[in-house]
Structures are given as structure tokens and as C-alpha cells.
Amino acid sequence: MGNENPEVRTIPEDERSAAGAAACPDLAAQVAALSAERDRLAAEKAELNDRLMRRAADFDNFRKRAERDRSDFVQFAGMEFVRELLPILDDFERALKSESADPGYAKGVELIYNRLYDVLKKMGLEPMDTVGKTFDPNLHQAVERVETDQAEDQSILGEFQRGYNFKGKLLRPAMVRVAVRPS
């Protein structure tokens, strides 16, 4: 009794080399196919990663823009509110300049004016200082031109209505009297 197993067959050397040669192109084709698939998947991954990064950047830019727009809206709403109150402030200034028979009444008007003015300044209202400055059509509205040698050409002699800025932006131009050289 030998160790021979009838089902196990030994393949002769010449048959083995022929079978290996036949399997080699098939194996090389599979390796090439797998490499191509790996390269395709790597390129697809890189493209998806790039798209993800772009979308994340777009979303971040959108978030920043929305925050800036919201901030601008809040500031603009405050600006419009203050603009609506400026005629009332002007009325108080005119009332303070007029003579009053009752000093208590004048003092009350002055207290109300000061409180309103302080609240508006806290919100961002900035009065313009115009008298003696050079006329700037971007900041001032010339209501009257006065020919004079007493002042520098294009300097502001007087103010009819005070101009204001709101948080650095022009809210209302000042109405002014401008000096011009006589011709």
C-alpha cells in the first residue's frame, strides 16, 4: 500500500510551464484592470474632495455675506430711523434759539433736546462742523453764494441747516452759505 492518492495527479513540468504562460497574460490583464480602476477611483475621490472643499468655501462665503447683509440692514434701519428724527431735532434747535417769556419752559425744552441729542449720538449720529471750512459739494448743499473779500474763496460763511453723518456715512448734507470772490 503506497501513499498514492488516486485523485491527486502530478502535472509534468512541460505542462506546468505551458499552463503558467497561459495564466500570465490573464493575470497581467487583471492587474492592469485593477490598476486602471484604482487610478479612476483615486481621480474620482480627488474630484469629489475638490468639489467638497469648493462647496464648503462657498457656504462659508455665503454665511459671511449673510452676516454682513444682516449687519448692514440693522445699521441701515437705524440710519433711516435717525433720519426721520432729524426734523424734530431741527425744531428743538429753532425753539432753543427763540426768545421765551418763561425761563422754566425754555429749560424744559433744552433738557428734552439734550436727551434726544445724546440718544441719537449714542446710536451713531455725528454732527458736521461746517462754518469756516472749505465747501465740499459731496458734504454740503450751497443755498446761498455771497460775494466777499472778507473770507477765503469757497469757504463756508454760515449754516442754514446742520449736516449729519451716521456712523461715518453721510446722513444729511449741511445747507450752507458759501463765500465767492467778487468778479
Indicate whether this model's pTM tops 0.75: no
pLDDT tops 90 at residue 69: yes
Q: Which of these, 171, 163, 102, lies nearest to 133 by C-alpha position?
A: 163
Higher-scoring residue by pLDDT: 74, 117: 117
Q: Considering the domain boundaries, does residue 25 fall inside one?
A: no
> What integer pLDDT is reported at residue 129 of this predicted model?
92
The secondary structure element, H or E, covering residue 165 is: strand 164-166
Asked whether the predicted pLDDT for residue 26 surpasses 60, the reply is yes
Nearest to residue 174, comparing CAs of 163, 165, 164? Answer: 163
Q: Is there a domain that residue 158 lies in?
A: yes
pLDDT of residue 18: 53
Which residues, in sequence order, are bridge partners of residue 179? Answer: 146
Q: Is the pLDDT at 7 greater than 90, yes or no?
A: no
Q: Is residue 183 a part of any domain in this protein?
A: yes
Which CATH number goes with the domain that contains 175? Answer: 2.30.22.10
Q: In what order do the strands lie in the sheet with 174-180?
A: 140-147, 174-180, 156-161
Q: Is residue 180 part of a domain?
A: yes
Residue 68 pLDDT > 90, yes or no?
yes
- The parent domain of residue 135 ranges over 127-183
Q: Within a domain: residue 39?
A: no
pLDDT tens-digit readout, 100-125: 888 898 899 999 999 999 999 998 99
- Per residue in 136-165, pLDDT (tens digit) is 999 999 999 999 888 889 999 999 999 999
In a domain, 58, yes or no: no
DSSP-based helix, strand, coil % in the chain, nearest 5: 60, 20, 25
* Angle formed by the axes of helices 103-123 and 13-97, nearest 10°: 170
Residue 17 lies in a domain: no
pLDDT greater than 80 at residue 183? no
Could you tell me if 156 and 178 are in contact, meaning their C-beta atoms sit under 8 angstroms apart?
yes
pLDDT for position 180: 92
| Total number of domains in the chain | 1
